[in-house]
Structure 1
Amino acid sequence: MLQSLIAARDKVAAFLLCILLLAPGNAILYAQQEPPPPPPPGQTLSPDQLDDLVAPIALYPDPLLSQIMVAATYPLEVVQAFQWLQRNPGINGPALTQAAQQQNWDASIQALVVFPDVLKRLNDDVTWTTNLGNAFLAQQQDVMDAVQRMRQKAQQAGKLASTPQLNVTTATDAGQPVIQIMPADPAVLYVPVYDPAWIWGPPLWYPYPRWYWPPRSVIVGGLGFGFGLGINVGFFFGGGWGGWGGWGWHPGWGNHTVIVNNTFIHRYNFNTVNVTNVHGTAVWAHDAAHRQGVPYASPALRSQYQGNVRQNVAPRSAPQVNRTQNAQPAERFGNRQVPQSAPQAQNRSAFGGMQNNGEAARAHADHGYSSLGAARSTPARSAPAPRAAPAPRSGGGGGRRK
């Protein structure tokens, strides 16, 4: 009996001790630290926020990385392109790129159809895609610095090195040391599939998208990092393919720019209506026409791009470029009815089924960009948006925004 009473007393004491440890005064011992409050609307993102934002693509090869950063500024066309691929599963090879040429998308979106897994990831978390594009428009230099910062951290941790699929080198660009990642094969690109948390640890600000890990199609790789099936880019672009030096987009790390190869865009008949110099390179400039009514994240960007579709893009020459901009009349995308004959009118956008393009896109963008300051445990979700109206054909290269 005495032993039973002692055992009961010990259990009660242990229970009371647990209660005391979990009391409000000791909660700080067990609770996770609250994240800092989100920045006010229009305020630039901090380096930590940008690091989390670029982590899912920071280890992508340079040609694909720069193309994605450009394409992310046109999130509605990303969704349209993914849905178009879903409706046309039987098209492959040169026929795929030829069919994409007929779509009213920016050239960065047209050429992305040869990487269906990448397009699916951008579509699956379109809020993250929109946030990446917004950040790239507002803080292009900071975004590119964040990519280099994350590459340096991965390399220092022993988790970024050359493989049979990718060559990782350190070079100097405009006097700045940079880490370059290029496909090891001149015609084949392997898209990395990795868990950012395994490489850099948990996010501090912005939750990583959930499409990166665990993978379903990793062919080669190990714990936390692998590659999907290689994409033979030469197969899609025919005999004119000349290696990655001729790809349409490359990062200018030292000058914090994306260099557009207009020769590539012209050769493969992508959108070149406003590309006056079709044989050369140019500093990339955002084409507001392909934004298709998706709001910009700050008053400064709205003032820069929405007043007139093309007049807000000022020309600036890059090496080997002699390019001018032809201003186009302003056109409203937000309230225009989608014609029944348009290819995009056959299916509703993945944003949702609302009829007013501008209203839905506004709701999506407001929700998405504000989530940058959310706690790490709150995954970003996309808000509904409508079917998209076709945008005027427009080139993706040349000129630089002010």
Structure 2
Amino acid sequence: MRMPWFAVLSALFCLSAAPGLVLAQDVPDPAPAAATAVAKDPVFTQEQLDQMLAPIALYPDPLLAQVLMASTYPGQVNEAVSWSKANPKASGDDAVKQVAKQPWDPSVQALVAFPQVLATLGQDPVWVQRLGDAFLAQPDDVMGSVQRLRHQAQTAGNLQSNQYQNVTVQTAPAPASSGSSTQVVAASSPPTTIVIEPADPQVVYVPSYNPSTTYGTWAYPASPPVYYPPPPMYYAGSALVAGLAFGTGVAIISSLWGDCDWGHNDIDIDVNRYNNINVNNRIGNNQNKWQHNATNRDGVPYRDARSRQQYGRQLDGASQRTAFRGDDAQRAQARDKARASLDRAGIERPATSNIQARQQMREAQADRRQEARVPQGRLQNSQATPRRQGEGQVRQVAQNRPGNSAGRARNNAFDGVRSPSRTSVQASRGRTSQSFAQRPNASRAAGHPISRPSAPLRRGGGGRR
């Protein structure tokens, strides 16, 4: 028995409306259920994340964590880049101590220990800001992108242990739920985790490489990774090992105090190392997880709505801004009294909004058109506009003031300010009188003699010569 067509449509509608069901055509392929966990409007796609993380994905874990933290303060990173250019020989813990009084986030201060890293970040400030926005909005996806890229480099034979770094492969821990709905693809992370650490914890070698070749065949030909050439002064005579160049090592003791926590896709803080280098900004032992400080953002806007809601909240002292601007009860009362005085004097209030200002402008233009049509002698008749009648009353009050022996209001510098239409009429009348006085017939009309140049005398008769 065939079902009616309307019954089939009703069944399909019920299936599509059910929250726990999907239609067959909505599933592109029979992949596992975890692979279909697509984010709702992610800020950056997997392709964009791989492209922006390719230049730094092979950094040692402590240095990578430091770069990710600092990138969330792009304005201060630019200042640190300028400072490093002005002090090219400053590096390591000594450089970090020199900027201890700078109003930068500790993660930004720690980067001055690695001038070659700041030289790379300074080549593209937009890239730095996008990197920080991605880490704030999609930390799980950022960490997953780093692991994908590391596995690609290892498969291409360009990531291995040497005298500069130790590369270890560990079983990937079970992903912890972060409560975020911004994951691009949940099952895109590799089953193992690649950890990169300095061979000597007190000497860090910053690798330099070309992402276009280090990761083998790039998965996104339309969006190739950007290559930032290393600064020559830090990589002169560098050693090439499996496609990576290692320049001069940076001796550190306390400058790197962050590390990647691949189990939770966040950053751990070594409190002891942090306090050793940040003596003026110590933290407690329980502050072993990095948290973004919106105060050090320096007004740089956040890219996504979730970050704006989480970090763009009002800072301390925001409740005092109203009083600082003068919007208190005393000033509001003074404004009300001033407006009442204008009403009693019959003076039009100044506009308090753009809409009211446009309305007053239209009324003034209407008055000018009305005066242009009505002769000057009839401006005071009953056809005058209500506002003109009000202005006539104000002039009558001024004429009756004591001290006006002539019965007329004194002229002053502000005469006509509140009546733009009357000022326009007077200006037009003056221009008309001036142009009239310059005409040749004006002198005859005024009764003055007119002198004309005498005609030249002709020689001979009146005929043509």
Same fold (TM over 0.5): yes
Aligned residues: CA RMSD: 2.7
1:308 maps to which of 310, 314, 320: 314
Deviation at 1:179, TM superposition (A): 0.5
Instruction: Describe the SS at the equivalent of 1:208.
Output: coil
Q: 2: CA distance between counterparts of 1:95 and 1:215?
A: 22
**Structure 1's 213 and 198: CA in aligned 2 closer, same or farther, altered over 3 A?**
farther
Q: 2: CA distance between counterparts of 1:210 and 1:199?
A: 11
Q: 1: CA distance between counterparts of 2:312 and 2:203?
A: 39
Code of the aligned partner of 2:193: V
Instruction: Describe the SS at the equivalent of 1:221.
Output: strand
Q: 2: CA distance between counterparts of 1:166 and 1:199?
A: 17
**Structure 1's 129 and 42: CA in aligned 2 closer, same or farther, altered over 3 A?**
farther
1:191 maps to which of 197, 206, 213: 206
**Structure 1's 122 and 331: CA in aligned 2 closer, same or farther, altered over 3 A?**
farther
Contact 2:51/2:226 (<8 A) preserved: no
Q: Does 1:71 align with 2:70?
A: yes
Contact 1:63/1:250 (<8 A) preserved: yes
Q: 2: CA distance between counterparts of 1:76 and 1:156?
A: 37
Alignment of 1:162-173 (within 5 A): 162-172=161-171
**Structure 1's 212 and 93: CA in aligned 2 closer, same or farther, altered over 3 A?**
closer
Contact 2:208/2:230 (<8 A) preserved: yes
Cross-structure match for 2:268? 259
Q: 2: CA distance between counterparts of 1:294 and 1:137?
A: 13
Alignment of 1:215-364 (within 5 A): 217=235, 219-221=238-240, 224-234=243-253, 247-269=256-278, 272=281, 275=283, 277=284, 279-309=285-315, 328-330=316-318
Q: 1: CA distance between counterparts of 2:209 and 2:250?
A: 18
**Structure 1's 86 and 164: CA in aligned 2 closer, same or farther, altered over 3 A?**
same
Code of the aligned partner of 2:302: Y
Code of the aligned partner of 1:82: V
**Structure 1's 196 and 215: CA in aligned 2 closer, same or farther, altered over 3 A?**
farther
Which entry has the higher C-alpha Rg, 1 or 2?
Answer: 2
Alignment of 1:122-141 (within 5 A): 122-141=121-140
**Which range moved further: 155-164 or 144-153?**
155-164
Cross-structure match for 1:323? none
**Structure 1's 77 and 251: CA in aligned 2 closer, same or farther, altered over 3 A?**
same
Q: Does 1:212 align with 2:211?
A: no
Cross-structure match for 2:119? 120
Q: 2: CA distance between counterparts of 1:90 and 1:156?
A: 37
Cross-structure match for 2:192? 177
Code of the aligned partner of 1:198: T
Contact 1:58/1:151 (<8 A) preserved: yes
1:223-254 Cα deviation digits (max 9, x unpaired): 742111111114xx5xxx9xxxxx41011101
Instruction: Describe the SS at the equivalent of 2:288.
Output: strand
Deviation at 1:44, TM superposition (A): 2.6
Contact 2:80/2:108 (<8 A) preserved: yes
1:131-159 Cα deviation digits (max 9, x unpaired): 11010010000000000011111111211
**Structure 1's 89 and 301: CA in aligned 2 closer, same or farther, altered over 3 A?**
same
Q: State the TM-score, normalized to the length of structure 2.
A: 0.52
1:16-72 Cα deviation digits (max 9, x unpaired): xxxxxxxxxxxxxxxxxxxxxxxxx97432222211111111110000001101111
1:346-397 Cα deviation digits (max 9, x unpaired): xxxxxxxxxxxxxxxxxxxxxxxxxxxxxxxxxxxxxxxxxxxxxxxxxxxx
Fraction of identical pairs, as percent: 38
Q: 2: CA distance between counterparts of 1:127 and 1:196?
A: 18
Deviation at 1:91, TM superposition (A): 4.8
Q: 1: CA distance between counterparts of 2:298 and 2:136?
A: 16
Cross-structure match for 2:146? 147
Deviation at 1:191, TM superposition (A): 0.4
1:83-105 Cα deviation digits (max 9, x unpaired): 12233446566542221111111
**Which range moved further: 259-268 or 111-120?**
259-268
Q: Does 1:100 align with 2:111?
A: no
Higher relative contact order (CA 8 A, sep 6+): 1
Code of the aligned partner of 1:249: G
Q: 2: CA distance between counterparts of 1:93 and 1:285?
A: 24
Contact 2:209/2:243 (<8 A) preserved: yes
In structure 2, stretches of 5+ residues that fail to align are: 1-39, 175-190, 321-465
Contact 1:125/1:209 (<8 A) preserved: no
In structure 1, stretches of 5+ residues that fail to align are: 1-40, 242-246, 310-327, 333-402
**Structure 1's 224 and 111: CA in aligned 2 closer, same or farther, altered over 3 A?**
same
Cross-structure match for 2:85? 86
Q: State the TM-score, normalized to the length of structure 1.
A: 0.59
Matched residue pairs, number?
A: 261
**Which range moved further: 49-58 or 91-100?**
91-100
